[in-house]
Amino acid sequence: MTLSPDIDIKATRLTKRVKLTEGSLTILNDLHLTIKRGESVAIVGASGSGKSTLLGILAGLDTASEGEVFLAGQPLHQLDEDARAGLRASHVGFVFQSFLLLPGLTALENITLPAELAGIRNAKDRGLELLAQVGLSERRDFYPTQLSGGEQQRVAIARAFITQPKILFADEPSANLDEKTGLLVEDLLFDLNQQQGTTLVLVTHKAELAERCQQQYLMHHGQLEQQLPSELQEQRHVG
Amino acid sequence: MWASIAWRLFWRELKRGELWVIAFALFLAVFSVVMLTGITESVRSALYQRSASFLAADLVLRSSRPFQPELMATADAVGLQQAQQMLFDSMLFSDSEMQLVTVKAVSSEFPLRGELVLRRSHQPGQGELASFSAGEIWLEPRLLSLLAVSPGDRLELGMASLQVAGVIEAEPDAPLNVFGGNPRVLMHLDDVAATEVVQPGSRIGYRYLFAGSTPQLAELRQQLDPQLSVHEQWQELDPETAIGAAIQRAESFLLLAGLLGIVLAASASAVAANRYRQRHAEAVAVIKALGATTTTARKIYCSHLLLVSVFSSVLAIIAGIVLVVFIQQGIQLWMDDYQPAFSSRPLWMGLLTAAICAGLFAARPVWQLAAVPAIAVLRQLPAWRFDVWHLATGALAVWLLMWLFSKEFMLSLILFAACVTFALVLMGLAALLVKVAKPMAAGQSSALKLALANLRRRLWQNSFQLLTFSMALFLTLLLYFLRVELLDQWQAQIPAGAPNQFLVNISAAERPGIEAFAAQHQLELDTFYPIVRGRLTATNEQQLRQRASKEEDTERVGVGRELNLTWTSELPANNSVLHGRWFSEQTLGEVSVESELAERLGILLGDQLEFSIGGRTVSATVSSIRLVDWNTLQPNFYMILSADLLADFPASYLSAFYLDAERAQVLNQLNREFPTVIVLNVDAIIQQVQDIIAQVTVALSSILLLVFAAAVLVLVAQVQATMEQREQELAILRTLGARYAFLRNAMLLEFAALGALAGILATVLAEAVLGVLQFRLFELPFQLHWNLWWIGPGFGVVVVTLLGWWQLRQLLAIQSSVLMRRAIYS
């Protein structure tokens, strides 16, 4: 299958089933999705609808039961775990809901960790630059436990951009933060995303956050339904 | 790339305390092994050096052939110190008396070990200390009265005339058997030729005494063994003596302590490894999500294990060796001539333990850690499944360690089987507790209910914790009770007031006089045992050889010397009938045989034994086999015959009494009134045995303390392993409004219940294992330890509650807001 160069992510006939003691549960069911380079896409949906499962498969963290996934031109469904790890190291950045910084590393070291894993030399300068961009230059040698939740997430955002990834996956990036801090973090995420021209795949249950993306999809019964901004506003009012 | 990350993470995690638990567990494992191996070797070496003083050398070669210069040349070539000794019986003549004596002629170098104390005086404790030289003869004190001589007089031995120099006060290699043998004299080896008593056919015992380092002695044995004939044999410490038995038992105990230390160490490293795996699963998922392959993650975390193993092992070996050196210096305080021996065994045993603990207990969890999927960053990991293979390899490793360390296949198998049984029982009880605690814990409205609920949840999730709590308590209880038991046994062998003066060679006519003398001086006389000397010559009409030889294995081996035969219708104290029945008043023609001799000679109930007594042959049927406690230093006999067989032979009598050291003058009076009665003072021998018991007690107590400390450390590691979970639960309960006192009480009750359960389980197992060890290792009958049944559970409650409180009190003091923050961001 030939993929257009302007497409960063393409998923076709994606199905994910998991085995339970009671039987089999289908989380994703014949799902299709195409995301163009530089596009920002929000995936919304109720808790347990399969948003995070989809994000995991698109990012190569997990595999689908059926279907094909292309990421940065590479067929994820044909790659083994190590090859997928290599692809993530060079093309993908992550921001997680619970920050997931390594407690044994300082803020700066957490930021430069993906670069070191990708074998990029002299990542420290780039790390310091990003640290300044997220406003934490004075916290470079602080350990995660010495930082507030907002500060930890800002470090996580800087970490996501250190390898200048093509694609950024964010899973509920402000869900663990208070509203004010959450907004600051969201602004930072979108600012950096725009500066770097990164493709953004954002999973959230917050309609306001989803509205800031160019495309919005609703996860429902294992499939994606494209949403219009008006529909999201409606959801927000209802919510 | 990975190395740089691994190195930084290693130091940071070490600094943050993340690796301390596993580092500490490995340290504990290696330190325990180095320390226990080192101490065991030091104490064993001290005991053997002390035992060497009873041989007057490190090694003795006995021979019935004259000294062979080439043997001595071989010893010289190896670099050993050596001395020679001749032993023979001869008549000694004074102007008015004569006496059959055992002559010990020694070379100038004697003794190589131990102390020879000679006094230029007529009795021990008085007069100038001296050393022996040619032309002199030194006497056992009783010989002065028997021969009616004083220092300065001359005695004739064969063709030589020797001057009485004084008395022998202490002789390192004096025989411990006080009931046989002639009075002893000591002279210089150079004077033997002049006596002309050594003639072809004379029964002379030649002894080569050697002293040197263990490798030198081993080399000598290796070189000499092929050259030895049937006339030569190496002399070992006699295990039948009280001292030999004390050393053997001490060794068994120290060995056991070593085994138990290994079990504790293995438990600690397994706990630490599992905790490490649980705590680092998320970090591995993050690293993998950020682009690390499984191999990279494995390299990072396995290198941590390698670094922490090396770091801990080096520190543990240094600490262990420092402690061993310290203990060796302590040994020197009570044993002046102790020579510390530094062997490489503790070192390589420590390294081997580190490799096994890290490789078989910790490596698998760390290896599996790298297999955590990257998707774990997005969804909760499934609970860790019970790893049967980890358990199986760990168990196999424990047993292999036990076997390697003890070199005792059966003992290691028994201990291991006990541990496995204990684990299975524990698992079953944990399941039972779940059922019992569940209805009780419904609706957590009181501290007790909350404690039970916590206990139930944690027991089910991590019953390994209960297992190690119980194991640590079990090992401590086992060691404590074994120590108490051993000391009791040893003390019981020589109880206060046990006879220390033996009267030998009492004629029938003298018995009433002796009884009157005892009554007059308030001495409690033991039974009068009649003694007739005789030789066992045949069993079931088959002649016995008198000595063992290499060539004639098919021929039955005899006792090799004359026996003291007695007759009595009452079973002596410290004797019990193993097989058959004891004599009745009407018994005719029967004999009772001591069990070990019976086993050695293959004597069974109903066998016909023939004795040669005073030129006559006496036949007797074996009607009982007796178990005799030889360690009591009380009159004991290999053969007791029915009265009808011996009553017609002229007999002398033996009796004993206890005399305070302050009343020693009574002995002089006894000697004056009964000059032909020989008084043997066994105080010196009893003192030697008690001395060894005291030294071994110190060693046992220190090892018990160390094992207890190790057990406490395992408990601490276990509580640490549940810290994160407890912190999260505490955060929730605090948020829901639980008060400090409520949470404190719940925590204390939880640990008290856990301690009680662990204590009860440990008690049951300790009682069972004590029973097995009593039977298998110490050859003692089974006895229930009543004290154990309240000390065990009580000890469990107190120790576990205090340790739990000590570790978790700081957690309770943390403010709710801090707890919540940690719970959310962790």
Q: Does B664 lie at the interface with A, CB-CB under 8 angstroms?
A: no
Q: What is the pLDDT of residues B227-237, one digit of tens each?
A: 877 677 787 55
Give, in order, the Cα–Cα distances in Å from B255 to each of B128, B347, B390, B417, B749: 45, 17, 27, 18, 37
Query: Does B375 sit within 8 Å of A82, measured CB to CB?
Result: no
Whose tokens are 């993530």? That residue is: A88
Q: Does B198 lie at the interface with A, CB-CB under 8 angstroms?
A: no
Tell me how far apart the alpha carbons of residues A26 and A18 are, in angstroms, rounded to a whole number: 6
Tell me how far apart the alpha carbons of residues A236 and B512 are, in angstroms, rounded to a whole number: 120
Tell me how far apart the alpha carbons of residues A10 and A75 are, in angstroms, rounded to a whole number: 9
Task: List CB contacts (< 8 A) between A99 and chain B.
Answer: 825
3-state SS, residue B113: coil
Q: What is the pLDDT of residues B527-538, one digit of tens each?
A: 888 888 788 888
Burial degree of B817 (CB within 10 A; 0-12, 13-18, 19+): exposed
Query: Does A88 sit within 8 Å of B283, measured CB to CB?
Result: no
Minimal C-alpha gap between A40 and chain B (Å): 20
Instruction: Pick the residue from chain A with its C-alpha nearest to B378.
Output: A52
B588 compared with B728, residue with greater pLDDT: B588
Q: Can you list the pairs that B820-823 forms with residues at least 24 positions away whose Cβ atoms lie under 8 Å?
A: B820/B731, B820/B734, B820/B735, B822/A145, B822/B727, B822/B731, B823/B727, B823/B728, B823/B731, B823/B732
Tell me how far apart the alpha carbons of residues B195 and B332 are, in angstroms, rounded to a whole number: 43
**Arithmetic mean of pLDDT, B359-364:** 81
Q: In the prediction, which pLDDT does B315 show?
A: 92
Tell me how far apart the alpha carbons of residues B26 and B135 are, in angstroms, rounded to a whole number: 65
Q: How confident is the model at residue B560 (pLDDT cuts 50, 70, 90)?
A: low
Q: How confident is the model at residue B612 (pLDDT cuts 50, 70, 90)?
A: confident
3-state SS, residue B524: coil
pLDDT at A107 over 90: yes
Q: From A208, A212, A108, select the one nearest A162 (Cα to Cα).
A: A108
B443 compared with B167, residue with greater pLDDT: B167
Q: How confident is the model at residue B44 (pLDDT cuts 50, 70, 90)?
A: low
Largest CA-CA distance found in chain A, in angstroms, rounded: 53
Tell me how far apart the alpha carbons of residues A31 and B383 are, in angstroms, rounded to a whole number: 30
Chain-centroid distance of CA B576 in Å reads 25
Minimal C-alpha gap between B377 and chain A (Å): 8
Query: Does A176 sit within 8 Å of B378, measured CB to CB?
Result: no
Checking DSSP bridges between strand B98-106 and strand B117-120, what pairing results, if any? unpaired
Query: Does A88 sit within 8 Å of B291, measured CB to CB?
Result: yes
Task: List CB contacts (< 8 A) between B290 and chain A.
Answer: 88-89, 94, 113-114, 117, 159
Nearest to B289 among A61, A149, A152 (CB): A61
Q: In the prediction, which pLDDT does B738 show?
A: 73
Task: List CB contacts (< 8 A) between A110 and chain B.
Answer: none
Q: How confident is the model at residue A239 (pLDDT cuts 50, 70, 90)?
A: very low
Tell me how far apart the alpha carbons of residues B117 and B137 are, in angstroms, rounded to a whole number: 14
CB B63 within 8 A of CB B232: yes
pLDDT at B461 over 60: no
Nearest to B377 among A92, A100, A144 (CB): A100
pLDDT at A138 over 50: yes
Q: Does B291 lie at the interface with A, CB-CB under 8 angstroms?
A: yes
- Greatest mean pLDDT among B247-251, B588-592, B783-787 lies in B588-592
Query: Does A105 sit within 8 Å of B373, measured CB to CB?
Result: no
Select the residue from A80, A108, A117, A146 to test the B interface by mutation, using most B Cβ atoms within 10 A: A117
Query: Does A149 sit within 8 Å of B824, measured CB to CB?
Result: yes
Cβ atoms < 10 Å from Cβ of B520? 10
Query: Does A144 sit within 8 Å of B378, measured CB to CB?
Result: no
Q: How confident is the model at residue B433 (pLDDT cuts 50, 70, 90)?
A: low
Instruction: Pick the residue from chain B with its C-alpha nearest to A98.
Output: B825
Q: In the prediction, which pLDDT does B749 show?
A: 85
Segment 293-312 of chain B within 8 Å of chain A by CB:
293-296
Query: Does B375 sit within 8 Å of A62, measured CB to CB?
Result: yes
Instruction: Pick the residue from chain B with its C-alpha nearest to A94.
Output: B290
pLDDT at B625 over 70: yes
Query: Does A98 sit within 8 Å of B379, measured CB to CB?
Result: no
Query: Does B13 sit within 8 Å of A92, measured CB to CB?
Result: no
Which residues have C-beta within 8 Å of that of residue B724, sequence separation ≥ 6?
A: B279, B826
Query: Does B374 sit within 8 Å of A144, measured CB to CB?
Result: no
Cβ atoms < 10 Å from Cβ of B247? 21
Alpha helices, H only, B196-293: 214-224, 242-289
Which residues have C-beta within 8 Å of that of residue B318, sequence separation ≥ 6?
A: none
Minimal C-alpha gap between B13 and chain A (Å): 6
Select the residue from B7, B378, B814 to test the A interface by mutation, using most A Cβ atoms within 10 A: B378
Residues B744-779: b if buried by 16+ CB within 10 A, e if exposed: ebbbbbbbbbbbbbbbbbbbbbbbebbbebbeebbe
B161 compared with B251, residue with greater pLDDT: B161
Q: Does B373 lie at the interface with A, CB-CB under 8 angstroms?
A: yes
Quote ipTM for the complex.
0.90
Region of residue A132 (phi > 0: left; psi between -120 and 50: alpha; otherwise: beta): alpha
SS (HEC) of B668-714 = HHHHHHCCCCEEEECHHHHHHHHHHHHHHHHHHHHHHHHHHHHHHHH
Give, in order, the Cα–Cα distances in Å from A179 to each of A209, B2, B236, B417: 12, 38, 86, 61
Task: List CB contacts (< 8 A) between B287 and chain A.
Answer: 102, 113, 117
Tell me how far apart the alpha carbons of residues A202 and A169 are, in angstroms, rounded to a whole number: 6
Q: How confident is the model at residue B548 (pLDDT cuts 50, 70, 90)?
A: very low
Mean of per-residue pLDDT scores for chain B: 77
CB B127 within 8 A of CB B166: yes
Region of residue B39 (phi > 0: left; psi between -120 and 50: alpha; otherwise: beta): alpha
Q: What percent of chain B has pLDDT over 90?
A: 5
Q: Output the DSSP codes for chain A.
A: ----TTEEEEEEEEEEEEEETTEEEEEEEEEEEEEETT-EEEEE--TTSSHHHHHHHHTTSS--SEEEEEETTEEGGG--HHHHHHHHHHHEEEE-TT----TTS-HHHHHHHHHHHTT-S-HHHHHHHHHHHTT-GGGTT--GGGS-HHHHHHHHHHHHHTT--SEEEEESTTTTS-HHHHHHHHHHHHHHHHHHT-EEEEE-S-HHHHHTSSEEEEEETTEEEEE-HHHHHHHHHH-
Nearest to B291 among A85, A99, A100 (CB): A85
Q: What is the pLDDT of residues A166-182, one digit of tens each?
A: 899 999 888 877 888 88
Q: Which of A110-114, B286-290, B449-453 has the lowest mean pLDDT?
A: B449-453
3-state SS, residue B151: coil
SS (HEC) of A55-112 = HHHHCCCCCCCEEEEEECCEEHHHCCHHHHHHHHHHHEEEECCCCCCCCCCCHHHHHH
Query: Does A94 sit within 8 Å of B377, measured CB to CB?
Result: yes
pLDDT at B178 over 50: no
pLDDT at B101 over 80: yes
Q: In the prediction, which pLDDT does B245 show?
A: 59
Q: In the prediction, which pLDDT does B553 show?
A: 43
Q: How confident is the model at residue B328 (pLDDT cuts 50, 70, 90)?
A: confident
A-B C-beta contacts closer than 8 Å: 100
Instruction: Pick the residue from chain A with its C-alpha nearest to B10.
Output: A104
Domains of chain A are 38-63+78-238 (3.40.50.300)
Query: Does B295 sit within 8 Å of A89, measured CB to CB?
Result: no
Q: What is the pLDDT of residues B650-673, one digit of tens each?
A: 888 888 888 887 777 787 778 778
Which residues have C-beta within 8 Å of that of residue B183, sequence separation ≥ 6?
A: B99, B101, B102, B139, B140, B142, B143, B146, B678
Query: Does B9 sit within 8 Å of A102, measured CB to CB?
Result: yes
Q: How confident is the model at residue A43 (pLDDT cuts 50, 70, 90)?
A: very high
Query: Does B373 sit within 8 Å of A117, measured CB to CB?
Result: no
Cβ atoms < 10 Å from Cβ of B792? 28
- Sign (positive/negative) of CA torsion B473, B478, B481, B484? negative
Nearest to B377 among A61, A104, A114 (CB): A61
